[in-house]
Structure 1
Amino acid sequence: MTRRRWIADEVTGDRAFLLGKNAEHLVRVLRARVGQRFEIATPAGICLGEIVEIEPERVVFSTGDLPQLNLVPHRVPIHLYLAIFKFDRFECAVEKCTELGVSSIVPLIARRTDSYLVSAAPKRVERWRRIAHEAAQQSRRDAVPEICKPGTLEEVISRAPGKRIVLAETEREHKLAETVRDVSELSLAIGPEGGWTGSELALFRVHQWVHASLGPTILRAETAAIAALAIAQSSQS
C-alpha cells in the first residue's frame, strides 16, 4: 500500500509542519496520532516524518532520525502563462497542469478576456492555490506550483524565464513538439477563448516569444494547456 505523502507547509531544522486545513484534515478526518509516520515532501527531498506533536491547526513531524527516501528529481521548470477563461474550466486546467508537473501558473488578462472574469479573477487566486495544493498532494508531487496574481501581457510577458513559446492558431510552420526539445527552462503562453488578437501576437514577438502550434484542430483553452504541458514534459531528454 502506498504511504500517504504530505507537502510540508514549513520546515525548520529536523522539524516539518502541516498547518491550517492540511493539519485539520490529518487530525480530524484521518485521525492521525503521535508516533504515526508519513512521507513528507520538503525542499531538500522526500523523507519519512514521525508525528511528535498535534494541535488543532498544526501537526509537527520529526524527520531527523528517519531515512531520506529520495532526493527531489530534476525537472525542467515549465511556467504556464494562461489567459483567463471561464472559471470552472480554468480550475480544471490548474488541477491537471499541476498533476503534470507545471512549476508556476500566471493568469493572463488578454484583450478577449471577458470583463466579468477580469474583475472577479483576483478573488479566485486563493481558491486556485488550494486546488493546486490538493492536486500536488494527490499526484505525490514534491512541491506545489506557484499560482501568481493575474496580470496583463504588458506587465508580465517581458519577464518570462527560459525559452518563450506562445501557442498561436495562425502558426503553420513550427509545431510545439519541435520547439521545446532540450530546454533548461520553458515559458508557455495559452490564449483565451477566441484566441490572441493580432496586436497581442505582435507584442509576443517583440519580447522574443516563439510562435508554435499544437496542430490543425482548434482546442479549448484548458485542453490546449493540458496537451501543451504533456508534450513539453515528454520532449525533455
Structure 2
Amino acid sequence: MTRRSPRIHVAADLRVGGDVVLPEGPARHVARVLRLGEGAALRLFDGAGLEASAVLVEASRKRVVARVESVTTGACESPLRVHLGQAISKGDRMDYAIQKAVELGVAAITPLYTEHGDVRLKGDRETKKLAHWQAVAASACEQCGRAVVPPVHPPLGLADWLVERDEALRLVLHPETDGGLDSESSPNGVALLIGPEGGLAEAEVAAAREAGFGPLSLGPRILRTETAPVVALSLLQYRFGDLDENR
C-alpha cells in the first residue's frame, strides 16, 4: 500500500520551481516525526485555494525546504457558504467544534460570548486563543483536503454578530421547536447560530428571531454544544451543499 504524501499548510507564494522553507512546526513534523528525507514528496497548500505538489530538497534538523513541481486550484470547497456563530465553550470542546466544522466545509467561524456561556477572554489571552483556534482550522484542512483555511474571526458578543448577518438563510438551533430546512432552493449563504452548553437565553433567541433567524430543531435529543454543529452542518451540506451525490 502506497503511503499518502503529507499535506502541509504554508502561508507562502506557491510557484512552480520555487522553494518553500517550511515553518518550524511543520518542519519538525516532516524531519523528526515522519523522518522524511531529500526526494520525499509533499503536498502543500497556501490556505487561500492553491495546492501544490512538491519534493524535499533539504531536510536537516535546522531547515526543511520543499521545491514546488506543480500548482493547482483546490477542489474540495463546498458551494454552500456557511458562517457558523459558535458560543465559546471550555477546554477541548471548542477545538472539536472548530475542527469538525472545517471538515464539513464551513466558510467562516465566529466564536460568540453569550449570556449562559462561562468563558470570557480578554487581551493577550483572547489573542492567543484566537491564534490557537486558527491553527486548529488549518490542521483540519491538512487532514480533510481543503486548500482554503476558513477564517476564525475574533470573538464577538452575540448582539454584535447578529447585526452583521445578511445571509439569505439564517438559522438558530432551538430544541423546543419543530423547525426544519424548508427552503426550496439552495441559498447563496447560511448563518448558523449555536448556543452554549446551557443553551441560549430566551432574550437571545428572541433577538435572533428579530434578526431574521428561523428556528432549527435537530430532533428529540439534546446535543452537546460541540456535537450540534456537526449534525447541523451535515444536514445543511446534504440538503444544499455537496454531501448528496445525486445533487
TM-score range, shorter chain: 0.7 to 0.9
Amino acid at match of 2:149: V
Whether 1:135 and 2:140 are equivalent positions in the alignment is: yes
Alpha-carbon distance in structure 2 between the residues aligned to 1:168 and 1:73: 30
Please give the alpha-carbon distance, in whole angstroms, between the structure 1 residues aligned to 2:218 and 2:29. Answer: 40
- Once the two structures are overlaid, the 10-residue window that deviates more, 11-20 or 150-159, is 11-20
With over 3 angstroms needed to count, the CA separation of the structure-2 counterparts of 1:44 and 1:87, relative to structure 1, is: closer
TM-score, length-normalised on structure 2? 0.80
Q: Which residue of 1 aligns with 2:163?
A: 158
Counterparts of 1:196 and 1:179, CA distance in 2:
24
Distance 1:194 1:181, change over 3 A: farther
**Correspondence 1:42-61 to 2 at 5 A:** 42=46, 43-53=48-58, 59-61=64-66
Instruction: Give the whole-Å Cα distance in 2 for the aligned partners of 1:146 and 1:54.
Output: 31
Q: Tell me which residue corresponds to 1:167.
A: 173
More divergent stretch after superposition (163-172 vs 103-112) = 163-172
Whether 1:109 aligns to 2:117 is: no
Of residues 132-141 and 54-63 in structure 1, the stretch that sits farther from structure 2 once superposed is 54-63
Q: Distance in 2 between matches of 1:33 and 1:229?
A: 39
Q: Which moved more, 1:160-169 or 1:225-234?
A: 160-169
- Give me the whole-angstrom Cα distance separating, in 1, the residues matched to 2:146 and 2:49: 13
Contact 1:169/1:195 (<8 A) preserved: no
Shift of 1:56: 6.0
Gaps of 5+ in 1: none
Match of 2:204 among 189, 200, 216: 200
Conserved 8 A contact 2:114-2:158: yes
Count of residues in correspondence between the two structures = 231
Query: 1:39 Cα shift?
Result: 1.7
What amino acid is the match of 1:37?
A
**Structure 2 counterpart of 1:212:** 216
- How far apart are the structure 2 equivalents of 1:145 and 1:80? 11
- The verdict on how the C-alpha distance between 1:183 and 1:48 changes in structure 2, with shifts beyond 3 A counting, is same
Q: Secondary structure at the match of 2:100?
A: helix
Contact 2:9 2:44 in 1 (8 A): yes
Change in 2 beyond 3 A, CA 1:184/1:21? same
More helix by share: 1
Is residue 130 of structure 2 the alignment partner of residue 125 of structure 1?
Answer: yes
- CA RMSD, Structure 1 to Structure 2 (Å): 2.7
Any conservation in 1 of the 2:171–2:215 contact (CA below 8 Å)? yes
Task: For 1:7, give the aligned amino acid.
Answer: H
- In the alignment, what sits opposite 2:45? 41
Tell me the percent identity: 29
> Cα distance, 1:77 vs. partner?
2.0
1:187 aligns with 191
Task: Give the direction of change, closer, same or farther, for the CA distance of 1:210–1:55 in structure 2 (3 Å limit).
Answer: farther
Check the 8 A contact 2:76/2:145 in 1, yes or no: no
Distance 1:48 1:24, change over 3 A: same
Provide the TM-score with structure 1 as the length reference.
0.83
Structure 2 spans left out of the alignment, 5+ residues = 241-246
What is the alpha-carbon distance in structure 1 between the residues aligned to residue 25 and residue 74 of structure 2?
27
Letter in 2 for 1:164: R
Say which is worse superposed, 38-47 or 99-108, in terms of deviation. 38-47
2:101 to 73, 97, 116: 97
